[in-house]
Structure 1
């Protein structure tokens, strides 16, 4: 029996020539990006600041 494991890499790291495993996905208006934990947190913080929301509000949405 053979098992195939597919690893998805972070799109942001890939642009810098690095290979890091994606742990989260970001989707906005039909566009999607796979992100590592570091980039996922950066985008989360960006959107929290952009929409002037608190972290607890953003996490529950």
Structure 2
């Protein structure tokens, strides 16, 4: 991927190592896993699908 400018570039670069800064995300993941028995793969699949849906919405908005 070609490097691009973004105001949150440093945070984005650190995302894979340190995860999100918002602790509520971690709390929700914990609740889904520990309280409701979801596996990490299930939670990641849900997050992945939500991100793909949002990306599709953003790309559809940019089309003429």
Q: Is TM-score (shorter-chain normalized) higher than 0.5?
A: no
Q: Which one has a bigger Cα radius of gyration?
A: 2
Q: Identify the structure with the greater helix proportion.
A: 2
TM-score w.r.t. length of structure 1:
0.33
Q: Identify the structure with the greater strand proportion.
A: 1
Larger RCO (CA under 8 A, 6+ residues apart)? 1
